[in-house]
Amino acid sequence: MSTAHTPPAEQTGTELLTSMWERNYLPLTGEIISGFSLADDARCLDLGAGGGGMSHWLAERVPRGSVTALDTDVSQIDPTRSPNLTVVRGDLTEADFAPGSFDLVLARAVLASVPDPDAAVAAAARWLAPGGTLLVEDFYFLPAEDAPSEAARSVVRAYLEGFRTGGVDVRWARRLPATLARVGLADIGARVTPLGPGQSPQESELIATRLRLQGRPLVDSGLATEDDIAEFTAGLDRPEDRDVTTLLFSTWGKRRG
């Protein structure tokens, strides 16, 4: 069932976080794509489609075109909601689309977690048709040591360690503009969005919900304490605890015609 249509009381923790994540970040991605003058018959590829929020958003904007949503877990994507949407279960590092297959390729918060993100960018660039656009969005995590309180430093440090253990390159996003240029794309553009406690009510709510649903492993692993998490969560809306823990890099480029 699509998270966009699931009542909160019936959502699992994963579905709830996905729904909140899309509510927080989809408008930004949508605004950027709206500036690309995407034709209504464009062929689009959503790599690491997650809950399918952007896949469905794109399907509405290319009614005469098509959208392919690719992810290793497609359980949250409703394939019947958009008639021009094709849902494919698969690993983006093993995908083998023909060169020139798409007018837009989107990869949100996924490439930093693959073994060779630069190679994934190069592959995505090959799949673009002449004049097509690649948009990659990923997070650059700032040092935990610069957080404004000891509790914040502990929680941010714990999350960073969890990401690194899971194979995420927490610094790769900074290199995105250069990476897109190196694979031969032109007209490189970028937007950097600060994220973290107090950056917006939606951002603070997402952080609080994530800690409520996923904070236990941080405690069990000894990376943070329950008191750290409680103090950090309590300070999410306090001006003196406002922080930028993460930068969202949104970077795009075009394949030369």
Residue type, 63: P
- pLDDT band (50, 70, 90) for residue 2: very low
pLDDT of residue 11: 59
Residue 116 has pLDDT above 60, yes or no: yes
pLDDT of residue 59: 98
pLDDT of residue 13: 85
**pLDDT tens readout for residues 27-39:** 999 999 999 999 9
Residue 235 has pLDDT above 50, yes or no: yes
Between vectors from CA 125 to CA 81 and to CA 54, what angle results, nearest 5°?
A: 20
pLDDT of residue 9: 39
Residue 207 has pLDDT above 90, yes or no: yes
- What average pLDDT does range 197-205 have in this prediction? 95
Asked if 138 and 111 touch (Cβ cutoff 8 Å), the reply is: yes
Task: Quickly tell me which residue has 């306090």 as its tokens.
Answer: 238
Q: What is the DSSP letter of 109?
A: S
Residue 52 has pLDDT above 90, yes or no: yes
Between vectors from CA 73 to CA 51 and to CA 92, what angle results, nearest 5°?
A: 100
φ, ψ (nearest 5 deg) of residue 228: -60, -50
Range 3-254: architecture per CATH? 3-Layer(aba) Sandwich (3.40)
Global pTM reads: 0.93
* 206 φ/ψ sector (left φ>0, alpha ψ -120 to 50, else beta): alpha
Residue 219 has pLDDT above 60, yes or no: yes
Nearest to residue 79, comparing CAs of 44, 45, 51, 41?
51
Residue 214 has pLDDT above 90, yes or no: no
- pLDDT band (50, 70, 90) for residue 10: very low
For 43-185, strand residue ranges (E) read 43-47, 66-71, 85-89, 102-108, 128-141
